[in-house]
Structure 1
Amino acid sequence: MSELSNARVAGAAPVASGARTGGDAERFVQVVDVVKDFGGGTLAVDNVNLSVRKGEIFALLGSSGSGKSTLLRMLAGLETATSGKILIDGEDLAAMPPYRRPVNMMFQSYALFPHMSVEGNVAFGLQQEKTPKDEMRERVAKALELVQMSRYAKRKPHQLSGGQQQRVALARSLVKRPKVLLLDEPMSALDKQIRQRTQIEVVNIIESVGVTCIMVTHDQEEAMTMAHRLAVMSEGRIVQIGTPHEVYEFPNSKFSAEFIGSTNLFEGTIVEDEADHVCIDSPALPAKIYVSHGISGTIGMGVTVSVRPERVAVSRTQPAQNANWAAGTVKNLAYMGGYTLVHLVLDSGRKVVANVSSLALSELGEVDTDSRIYVSWSAGSGVVLVK
């Protein structure tokens, strides 16, 4: 994949007016020019365009106040868009009340009825729709089997662990066979040690059913683990959209680079820009930055280069390469088991973090606070950010 992938822009082509445009697997869910204005001069959702494919797990990722939860609530019908359109399978949802929409939402708190058994909770929505008893019994049994909760059918929610309650809530959402499943911070109530395992379990369940899923989270790891694609949101707008790999490896802005994972940023000016490389002078480094792709910029233009910590190598001696290196002093070592985060301050005063494997660190020899070391990275490890 070329580094030029970082030029991708979030958004989807507007849809022609009309209540129904016909099904389209590539644009199964469409958000078209959607605005949500609560008043007070700030738009919670600011002209968002987005398409979600049929059967896709799509994550809306952002910090508090980014607009992701408001957008999810508009999909569910719990909020009304100030302007714009939301369509599912070609059908405009504008005039459709929440209980008629082909969606089901699993809330952050799970919202299980404490006085009902597990099977009673799962059956509740079907009872409201007056589903025939035999059909309801069969669908509830299949839903509980799907989430591996059949043996707990008679228990009450307080007799279950957090992970078990989550699976009951998921079964309740899936039993109604929605076209779109909405997840609001699905793992936030779980202990950290079981969160990662549960993420994989939920993905497997959703993929086995084949339902389209849109989830909201502020947890980068959760979005990277669960989603086929994700959208990074900030101040009501989509900053970047792509697969987890695309967004992480090729951020399109300083915001994306810093929000997804951690990175080292070096500001500088372009001194050479060719089709196959670009050279940048940075006051933070004694050598030029060399990146193995061009950007069609102009000489003297200010840019920022992002280098992920795991791309940074450390050594005791000055690297032989004539670009992409610096010397510094170790200020902190954070041992993480399989790797160590080496925090150092370059001679220029710029702070840099290197993610060093335990093997590489042992080969380097004893490294302590105040040790002098060199950092370097390859020509393909940097991404040039022009905004």
Structure 2
Amino acid sequence: MNKIRLENISMSFGEKIALDDINLEVEKGKYIVILGPSGAGKTTLLKVIAGLFKPKKGHIYIDEDKNITNFPPEARKIAFLPQNYALFPKKTVWENISFSPKIQKLPNANELIKEFLLMVHLTDRPDAYPHELSGGMKQRTALGRALATNFSIMLLDEPLRALDARLRLELRNELKSMVKDLGFTVFHVTHDQEEAFSLGDTIVILNQGRIQQIGKQEELYRNPINEFVASFLGEVNKQYSNIKVKTSSVHRDGFDYIANLENDVKIKLYSNKLFEIDQKILLIIKSESIKIITIKKENKPAIGIKKYDSNDNNIELKLNTEKSNWFKGTILQKYYLGKYTNIEVKTEGFSDNKGILTAKLSSRKAVKFEPEDIVWLQIKPEHILII
């Protein structure tokens, strides 16, 4: 099998549309991650590919023109790992994993089974039955069984869901290496962005049964196509606005804009897309793109700000506004998240979320900021996405 192609796949359950005009082409050996929230249609899509559901409309092709839309599951030679594991309850771990190799009478079946037991960390439990296993062990047994089918297309529905954090990370790395070595084509469903970005050759973002965007990790993160993708792939601040000034950028290809915020506050923007004067826009500001600078601390200027009025007791900083937006605000809360800390700042001009912007800083840098501190928020025009 060289590739798999989905054309205009649609599926519904009564009045509820589960899949809506899905078009996707995947080359042999690629690791595709289908990413989306619960209820997006991810599992339904896998079941359609596996032959467990028949689409209401559309076709599935293997190897350019082999139409398998009406093939039963067993004729498709596609391995499917469901969320509920579907293990044989009266068979041991070894027997579950060896089921397909034995049926296919593979000459090196025992060696393959040993390899997969090692890969899924179950070499010490080959004789255990499913009822004797933890949830994570059951999941690893099901993963080993799917790998052992030796089918060139694999459908994995949340395969790392029940594992603890350490094992999930370890198995994640091994999983991609293993399927790459075997030349498998993989459709991997998850709702976890980190898992998706670490595994996928290509990411397919699904929501409400429709493909929202397909692309590489950096492309999706830096250039989300709509509000849903931007919000789903990170912590963002959102603000509706209107374009008021448009000029061709002097220093780069594209356009410089000025838009209005609340209380006549202006914000500078940059985009290589063309927007018109008075056009309503949505601004997306990723939390990690906001820099916080202290205005006043022990009657000294903020670190890194060299120009200030030393005669002013409040130390009014003279900021370089040519290349950045600066917004004055007051810190409301800090939320320590381990490596990172989220800082909520009440600031001028922004009306969405009650005027609160969230900045995501490394916890090392966030130590110096406390609630009630008055600060400047620096946001560069190129770090603001316009939708």
| TM-score between the two structures when normalised by the length of structure 1 | 0.84
Q: Give the alignment partner of residue 261 of structure 2, picking from 250, 264, 283.
A: 283
Secondary structure in 2 aligned to 1:140?
A: helix
1:80 to 54, 60, 66: 54
State whether residues 19 and 45 of structure 2, in contact with CA within 8 Å, keep that contact through their aligned partners in structure 1. Answer: yes
Quote how far apart the aligned CAs of 1:161 are.
Answer: 4.6
What is the match of residue 312 of structure 2? none
Q: Kindly report which structure 2 residues correspond to 1:318-329, keeping only aligned pairs within 5 A, or say none.
A: 319-322=319-322, 323-329=324-330
CA–CA separation in structure 1 for the residues paired with 2:241 and 2:362 = 29
5+ long unaligned stretches in structure 2: 296-316
368, 371, 381: which one pairs with 2:383? 381
| Alignment check: 8 A CA contact 1:116 1:156 kept | yes
Deviations 1:151-191 (A, max 9, x none): 43233334445444333222211212112110111122223
Determine the structure 1 residue equivalent to 2:340. 339
- The CA deviation at 1:373 is 1.2
Tell me: CA distance 1:141–1:241, structure 2 relative to 1, closer, same or farther (3 Å): same
Cα contact 1:343–1:351 (8 A) shared by 2: yes
Q: Distance in 2 between matches of 1:133 and 1:332?
A: 61
What residue number does 2:356 align with? 351
* Of 80, 86, 99, the match for 1:105: 80
Query: Contact 2:152–2:183 (CA<8 Å) still a contact in 1?
Result: no
1:152 partner SS: coil
TM-superposed CA distance for 1:258, in Å, is 0.7
Aligned to 1:136: 109
1:146-185 correspondence to structure 2 within 5 Å: 146-185=119-158
CA distance in 1, matches of 2:247, 2:96: 62
Distance change in 2, residues 1:133/1:377 (3 Å)? closer
| Kept after mapping to 2: 8 A contact 1:61/1:218 | yes
CA distance, structure 2, for counterparts of residue 47 and residue 143 of structure 1: 37
How far apart are 1:103 and its partner, in Å? 0.8
Q: CA deviation at 1:252?
A: 0.8
| TM-score normalized with structure 2 length | 0.84
SS at 1:380 equivalent: helix
Over the matched positions of the two proteins, sequence identity in percent amounts to 29
87-96 vs 195-204, which moves further: 195-204
In the TM superposition, what are the counterparts of 1:106-255 in structure 2 within 5 Å? 106-127=81-102, 129=103, 131-132=104-105, 134-192=107-165, 194-255=167-228
Would the aligned equivalents of 2:120 and 2:171 in 1 still touch at CA under 8 Å? no
Matched AA of 1:358? S
Structure 1 counterpart of 2:259, one-letter code: D
The aligned counterpart of 2:26 is 52
Give the Å deviation of 1:287: 3.4
> Residue in 2 aligned with 1:12?
none
Distance 1:151 1:189 in 2: 19
SS in 2 for 1:71: helix
1:69 is aligned to 2:46: no
CA distance in 1, matches of 2:137, 2:334: 38
Give the Cα–Cα distance (whole angstroms) in 2 for the partners of residues 342 and 278 of structure 1: 29
Contact 2:54 2:70 in 1 (8 A): no
